[in-house]
Chain A
Amino acid sequence: MAPAATILASEEDGATVYRAEGEWLVVTAAQLDRRLRDLDMPQDRQVTVDLSGVDRLDSTGAWLLLRTEHELAARGNQVALANLQARFAPLLEQVRSRGVTEPVPHPVPPHHTFIGFLARVGMVTMLLANRVYHILGFTGLVTVTFLRLLRQPRRLRLVATLVQMEVVGLDAMPIVGLLSFLIGVVMAYQGADQLRRFGAEIYTVNLLGISILRELGVLLSAIIIAGRSGSAFTAQIGTMQVNEEIDALRTLGLDPVEVLVLPRLIGLGLTLPLLVFYADFMGILGGALMSWLVLDINIPNFLTQLQTAVTTTTLWVGVVKAPFFASIIALVGCFEGLNVTRSAESVGRLTTQSVVESIFFVIVTDAAFSIVFSMLKV
Chain B
Amino acid sequence: MAEGQGDFVIRVRNLVNAFGSQVIHDGVDLDVRRGEVIGVVGGSGTGKSVMLRTVVGLNRPVSGSIEVLGRDVLHLNDDERHELETQWGVLFQDGALFSSLTVAQNIEVPLKEDLKLSERLMAEISACKIGMVGLPPEAADKFPSQLSGGMRKRAGLARALALDPQILFLDEPTAGLDPIAAAAFDQLIKDLQSSLGLTVFIVTHDLDSLFAICDRVAVLVDKKMKVGTLEEHLKDNHPWIHSYFHGPRGRAAQPAEMH
Contacts and interface: CB of A to CB of B under 8 A. Distances in A.
A98 B134 contact: yes
B124 interface: yes
B178 interface: no
A102 interface: yes
Nearest to A60: B125
B58 interface: no
Contact of A106 (B125, B141, B145, B164): B141
A54 to B, nearest CB: 14
B132 A99 contact: yes
Interface string A59-86: 1100100010000000000000000000
A345 B145 CA distance: 9
B121 interface: yes
A26 interface: yes
Given A94-B196, A103-B127, A104-B127, A59 B164 contact: yes
B111 interface: yes
A26 B141 contact: no
A95 interface: yes
Contacts of B104: 103, 106
Contacts of B129: 59, 99
A29 interface: yes
Interface residues of B, number: 36
B118 A25 contact: no
Given A29-B125, A33-B121, A93 B195 contact: yes
A90 interface: yes
A100 interface: yes
Interface in A109-127: none
Nearest to A94: B195
Secondary structure of the B contact surface, majority rule = helix
A74 to B, nearest CB: 15
A100 B195 contact: no
A107 interface: yes
A27 B130 CA distance: 19
Contacts of B62: none
Interface string B129-150: 1111010011011000100000
B78 to A, nearest CB: 19
B164 A60 contact: yes
A101 interface: yes
Nearest to A28: B115
B121 A30 contact: yes
A224 interface: no
A87 B3 CA distance: 13
A297 interface: no
Interface in A17-54: 25-27, 29-30, 33
B126 interface: yes
Contacts of A33: 117-118, 121
B138 A101 contact: no
B152 to A, nearest CB: 12
A59 B132 contact: yes
A95 B196 CA distance: 10
26 contacts: A26-B125, A26-B162, A26-B164, A29-B125, A30-B117, A30-B118, A30-B121, A33-B118, A59-B128, A59-B129, A59-B161, A59-B196, A60-B164, A63-B124, A87-B197, A90-B194, A100-B131, A101-B130, A103-B123, A103-B126, A103-B127, A103-B140, A104-B127, A106-B123, A106-B141, A345-B145
